[in-house]
Copies of this chain bind each other. A is one copy, B any other.
């Protein structure tokens, strides 16, 4: 994903067989990333684990990076689908806490499902070739996230706290992601999955949404 993005992207696969091949490549990459680490994810190994030849792999992906790009797209779509769903109007009756908890939990599950992949994607996002076109996709994703969050905040006008919605969405998005990723690597004492979720929900809620009973809560 990092290098050059040379030629035009290959034709999107249409046949059933093609779809199966692409799926096999995705699965193989994810599995290798999770079980063998990022260093093992060579094109040769991906092809081997996917059960296709290296030549076939290059028929579907222009580049090694194109595989990671596609996987990133897929994870982005999943995250967006989750958020669209939870923050959609039909759930807005719920309390802000319930909503934020649902988002954090959902994202947590997404991360836990393929930690190696998430780690690789995070690295990749940080590895932009100097001035390259990489962040385009990432920024697009961020914009979509921001749109969703703004919609959410707009819906709870009475209690929403932030004035700079873009900034708030950016901050929340990266903070949550980073903490989840960090726990994947460090597994610090006193921070199991439940505790992490509680802390993140609190972090987000206090930041984004007003908290009228703060005074009473002091006795914690």
Contact = CB atoms under 8 A, between A and B. Distances in A.
Given A123-B126, A178-B178, A211-B211, 9 more contacts: A123-B127, A126-B126, A139-B186, A142-B188, A166-B188, A166-B190, A167-B195, A171-B179, A207-B207
Count of chain copies: 4
A77 interface: no
9 contacts: A36-B130, A38-B127, A39-B129, A135-B185, A138-B186, A167-B190, A167-B195, A175-B175, A206-B206
A191 B207 contact: no
Interface of A: 2, 35-40, 119, 122-123, 125-131, 135, 138-139, 142, 159, 161, 163-164, 166-168, 170-171, 174-179, 181-183, 185-186, 188-191, 195-196, 199-200, 202-203, 206-207, 210-212, 214-215, 217-218, 220
Contact of A178 (B128, B142, B159, B174): B174
A126 B130 contact: no
A219 to B, nearest CB: 10
Contact of A119 (B126, B167, B177, B191): B126
Nearest to A175: B175
A171 B186 contact: no
A19 to B, nearest CB: 21
A181 B206 CA distance: 23
B190 A179 contact: no
Listed from nearest, the 9 A-B pairs whose CB atoms lie closest are A178-B178, A37-B130, A175-B175, A206-B206, A214-B214, A174-B182, A166-B190, A174-B178, A167-B191
A188 B203 contact: no
Contacts of A129: 37, 39
